[in-house]
Amino acid sequence: MNEPDRRKDDQVSIYDIARAAGVNPSTVSRALNNRDRIGTATRTKILRIAEDLGYQPSAIARSLTTRRTNTIGVVAPSLGDPYMAKVVDGIEQQAGDRDYRVLFSTSRRDPDRELTIANNFQRHRVDAVIIVATHFRRTYRLFETTLNVPVVLVGQEDPSSDIALVAVDDRAAIRDSVSHLVGLGHRRFAFVGVDDRPFSNDARARAFREAIGELAPNAMITEITRSEVTDLERGTASCLEIRDAGITAAQCYNDMIAVGLIGAALRSGLDVPGHLSVVGYDDLDISAYLPIPLTTVRQPREELGRTAVDLVLAILEGGPRSRSFMTGQLVVRETTAPPKNRKNGAQPGT
């Protein structure tokens, strides 16, 4: 008597395949896992029947065999940040293309929570952990010493550690920005940064100082570090100091600070870019569509995420913990121009 038709939503097991092929379940298991001690004709027959029945191997059973779950844990400070959201998009796309799934969690910029999440991922048997835009140097060594799975950082570098990472070369990107501003004739500069991301902020501020020292050694440099709640507020709050110091060009830590600064500058009567040129960092999607489109450094955000997955999978296959640095691209729009004297419109002397 023929078996009743199987419903499409029934789970096909190796026992179903064994009955259809007239062999033992252990033979089916050897064929599906490409093991020895099975003839070519029998293997071919079993694989054809498995395909016809729509067999889907159990992820749990596969993980017991391979000791992998094909899962990557991802920790990010916040998925509401446009920069991080794009990086996570890249991670998810590449992981999916490589038949991996992703577990996400947010640290809320808390280093203890960040480490706790990473340890929880490990207890859930993820194959690796990707940490996006961590800002806490002290946790780097803890990642290396407490986690027994590969770890890759995205967006930060610690020269004292050999932990795997992918990041943008801040020095090269900031140098391009400074070169652009110096070429326009600016000699009174500000770097507008943040106090809650000291690692990346220090790296960009240092790159800014070094580039000006090389390209405009007699220029004036002011560093402004703000502690307001949001980056927009930090940019807004920096305007008064920039205006009173006679600064004509500002490099901002990121695009949101630049947006806040531009809005406050316009409200205070400064012309952007005539009185004040502003450069951002990230090239968020909104940057090109602002009332005055923003000159900024473009970070390849999705590529950062995809590369992080590639680095993780390479380590899982026995490769070294490598470091990958990408190049940021200066995108010149309408917030930068030669400086004008704020009283009569003439270019100031240098």
pLDDT per residue over 19-64, tens digit each? 999 998 878 877 877 666 788 888 889 888 988 888 776 554 554 4
Judgement on whether residues 285 and 232 belong to the same structural domain of the protein: yes
Q: What does the pLDDT average to over 123-129?
A: 87
What pLDDT score does 59 carry? 52
pLDDT at 299: 95
Count of Cβ atoms closer than 10 Å to residue 214 Cβ: 12
Instruction: Quote the pLDDT of residue 247.
Output: 97
**292 falls within a domain:** yes
Q: What is the pLDDT at residue 343?
A: 62
Within this chain, do residues 145 and 286 fall inside the same structural domain, yes or no? no
Please give the tally of structural domains in the chain. Answer: 3
Q: Supply the pLDDT for residue 13.
A: 79
The phi and psi torsions of 83 (rounded to 5 degrees) equal -65, -50
How are strands ordered across the β-sheet holding 220-226? 220-226, 188-194, 249-252, 277-282, 295-298, 329-331
155-212 pLDDT, tens digit each:
866 655 678 889 999 999 999 999 999 999 999 999 999 998 888 899 999 999 999 9
Note whether residue 332 is domain-resident.
no
**Average of pLDDT values for 297-316?**
95
278's CB contacts (< 8 A; 6+ apart) are: 249, 250, 252, 258, 261, 262, 265, 272, 294, 295, 335, 336
The answer to whether residues 316 and 292 belong to one domain is no
Predicted confidence (pLDDT) per residue in 68-107, tens digit: 788 999 998 887 888 888 999 999 999 999 889 999 998 8
Say if 7 falls within a structural domain: no
pLDDT of residue 146: 73
More confident residue, 290 or 108: 290
- What is the side-by-side strand order in the sheet with 164-168? 101-106, 71-76, 128-132, 151-154, 164-168, 323-326
CA neighbor of 333 nearest in space, from 240, 265, 259: 259
As a whole-number percent, the residues of the chain with pLDDT over 90 amount to 53
Same domain membership, residue 247 and residue 151: no
Q: For residue 310, give both structure tokens.
A: 């590639």
Top-confidence residue, 347 or 317: 317
Output the domain CATH number for residue 264.
3.40.50.2300
Give a yes or no: residue 347 inside a domain. Answer: no
- HEC states along 238-284? HHHHHHHCCCCEEEECCHHHHHHHHHHHHHCCCCCCCCCEEEEEECC
Are 80 and 45 in the same domain? no
Domain span at residue 107 reads 67-168+301-326
